[in-house]
Structure 1
């Protein structure tokens, strides 16, 4: 099946209130253009340098999301254009995004990443860090940041009950945090292998790559 066909199939499985981020990391510009020409406008990358290169050369109405782990020294390169940063996992990173946003006279939208999976390798805030950071946001500590919601990654496992439980825990964090930041409206959880479970548990944004573009292309 073509990328356009895959995209149509994925979109047909999504409720109207769930936003699709097409994960285009490692994919060539021609693949992104095929999805673009089929109507997709939101694309997710996990390496800043790759995203900058694509932003410079692809249509300017594309909305670029940074979905990977973000190093503070890379924020300045994407600050002029990034639409949403999914993986804010520390106060220091949020401070750097705020600083770079101010330099470009922008308000940059961000999601706070919560650690919900069992793997220690996954990044994210714990419950106490999340609440403490939300209070600082509420008090106006980051004037050039808009916290849109939360992001989380479930454990990579075939145990669907476990995955659903982890997504449910993120939804609970989201509901609790809305008492502090009531304008939040985005819950980014679910990828190609588990997005249907994520939607069942309340996801409003899914990050799907291989189901649209096929297997990832990694450099040898």
Structure 2
């Protein structure tokens, strides 16, 4: 079932879009089935659950941490993740920089934006983004590889599309004006099970899909 679901999703998306299988809450066996189906980008949202799977699977997958990250848990992720998607404050970036310096490891991250301005979601507000970008020049152990956002909690596709259009606009602006050693802008991570087709239409090159793989 998992392999068939993945095959179906892969047939629907362009080759240059990375499918991150959201394996949070899934068993080790189900997670291994994803790897056997040829998907090696796996998304976890809780550090404790991630570490349990990492103990068994190690570096075989490209691990994406997609959940809210507490500052006191950062040290457990350094050197183990391909991308941390959920960096939502200067304070969190400071901790990642500090832990990276301790271990001599550069960590690749995405800045999470809250364009829908929903209280239930973490993320940097658009009006605060430039302040965050201005703080980055002194960092040596963190690289900003792109942006991430979640679509709004609505059935209204026009409102969902509006958020994705905004995120792509911001991504393109940063890519044009601010790319350097620290800010690189390779990944636009937007789109989940219910809205990834809209996200891809609006420029996403990385989608995070869970339910459609495992149900």
- SS of 1:64's partner is strand
CA distance in 1, matches of 2:12, 2:82: 25
TM-score (norm 1): 0.93
1:27 counterpart residue number: 26
Change (3 A) 1:181 1:135: farther
Once the two structures are overlaid, the 10-residue window that deviates more, 72-81 or 17-26, is 72-81
Once the two structures are overlaid, the 10-residue window that deviates more, 12-21 or 187-196, is 12-21
Structure 2 unaligned regions, length at least 5: none
CA distance in 2, matches of 1:108, 1:189: 20
2:151 counterpart residue number: 154
1:54 counterpart residue number: 53
Task: State whether residues 146 and 185 of structure 2, in contact with CA within 8 Å, keep that contact through their aligned partners in structure 1.
Answer: yes
Once the two structures are overlaid, the 10-residue window that deviates more, 68-77 or 178-187, is 178-187
Q: CA deviation at 1:104?
A: 2.1
- SS of 1:184's partner is strand
CA distance in 2, matches of 1:58, 1:136: 36
Task: State whether residues 135 and 180 of structure 1, in contact with CA within 8 Å, keep that contact through their aligned partners in structure 2.
Answer: no
- SS of 1:49's partner is helix
After the TM superposition, list the runs of 4 or more consecutive aligned residues in structure 1 that deviate by more than 2 angstroms. Answer: none
Task: State whether residues 191 and 197 of structure 2, in contact with CA within 8 Å, keep that contact through their aligned partners in structure 1.
Answer: yes
CA distance in 2, matches of 1:78, 1:5: 31
CA distance in 2, matches of 1:72, 1:127: 22
Q: How many residues align?
A: 211
Task: State whether residues 115 and 126 of structure 2, in contact with CA within 8 Å, keep that contact through their aligned partners in structure 1.
Answer: no
Over aligned residues, Cα RMSD in angstroms? Answer: 1.1
Task: State whether residues 100 and 107 of structure 2, in contact with CA within 8 Å, keep that contact through their aligned partners in structure 1.
Answer: yes
Alignment of 1:85-104 (within 5 A): 85-104=84-103
Structure 1 unaligned regions, length at least 5: 215-220
Q: CA deviation at 1:55?
A: 0.6
1:43 counterpart residue number: 42
Whether 2:207 is the aligned partner of 1:206: answer yes
CA distance in 2, matches of 1:60, 1:143: 24
1:18 counterpart residue number: 17
